[in-house]
Structure 1
């Protein structure tokens, strides 16, 4: 394997303007996605990606300098999809809303399959690790901002450090889909949402929120 295949190097490629070139590039992206998911990044070569896409290896290098560049193109628009969902605290039933968001996040992860590559990439690619960390910081800031608003509206426990709460929420939300591996049973996102909400809201606040939901439905 050449150095170009062995090292995770390269920048984002330019998208071709001609329709025929775009079609070939899209075929290569689809091929790379399928092979990366089935074989892993390390064991996939540019030659295999090209063959799987039904084009010559030389065609691959017209659009991508290496397999890492192709992978980064795949991830460029999917980084947000790898991030835990941002809860909505101001709704009448935060448990139900959060459970729905967690289920949707799990469905997206299963659909793309890209999260399977993350551990391998984090160990090899410093740039990717930095991009992923920056995306996590953005989500952290948004979740913390929402919690601060809930705190100012006297909805949360008053003796909790919101930074720690935000970190806990992200850990639970990000790894909830792995419960099957750790515990041996399927993840019930309603139960995960319940744990997160009890961490944030006192019982009387949850009761009030549910009461408001009941009143709204009756009206």
Structure 2
């Protein structure tokens, strides 16, 4: 966990050492997760979390300073999972590879069940927004570096600004799960991957990479 993430969580009132106390803390975390996902952050209180866990409100405050600290405890090891996936360029069949990454990312978000809270937190919690933005900047830099390598190997369009391409790719990847709400049909990640790859590679490069994969598979 980074220093920024440690700052987000803060110092706990008590770190349980006995198994029974740890079980109570874990139960509060589970209850908080369920209520945050169901009701949202603003409409969930520490008292409700404690009641849902079957413990007194005072017990909640033995382990957590407030509901924010509990939520950040849930997120502290999962912030990277909220980030857009980081593709590897120049591989065989980049469309299928990226589609697989996007689908896996979507499954992780759904398993977390916390993605609906992110817009709410970004609007209300500057500390969380700063940590998330810093994480995205790191991914942006890594993706841009990979695109520059692909550019140097004559795989990408030569007349496009790579910073803009990187930004466009991250925006599409990040907001792809929202397509269902806006368009009324399920997100097809193969189509999203196709759009992203068309931003990066000329058609003949995509065809060559896909053909190279076919040849490799036949050889083996």
Q: TM-score range by the shorter chain?
A: over 0.9
Q: Which runs of 4+ in 1 moved over 4 A?
A: none
Q: Does 1:21 align with 2:35?
A: no
**CA deviation digits over 1:115-143, x for unaligned, max 9?**
10111111211111111111111111111
Gapped runs of 5+ residues in structure 2? 1-7
What are the equivalent positions in structure 2 for 1:70-219 lying under 5 Å apart? 70-219=70-219
Q: Does 1:33 align with 2:40?
A: no
C-alpha displacement of 1:187: 0.8
| Cα distance in 2, alignment partners of residues 117 and 140 from structure 1 | 23
Contact 1:84 1:174 in 2 (8 A): yes
Count residues in correspondence. 211
* Structure-2 residue corresponding to 1:65: 65
C-alpha displacement of 1:12: 5.0
| Cα distance in 1, alignment partners of residues 139 and 22 from structure 2 | 32
Q: Does 1:11 align with 2:49?
A: no
Contact 1:12 1:72 in 2 (8 A): no
TM-score, normalised with respect to structure 1 = 0.92
C-alpha displacement of 1:19: 2.5
| Cα distance in 2, alignment partners of residues 18 and 149 from structure 1 | 52
Contact 1:12 1:73 in 2 (8 A): no
Gapped runs of 5+ residues in structure 1? 1-8
**CA deviation digits over 1:148-203, x for unaligned, max 9?**
11111111111111110000000000001111111111111001100100110011
SS in 2 for 1:114: coil
TM-score, normalised with respect to structure 2 = 0.92
C-alpha displacement of 1:20: 2.3
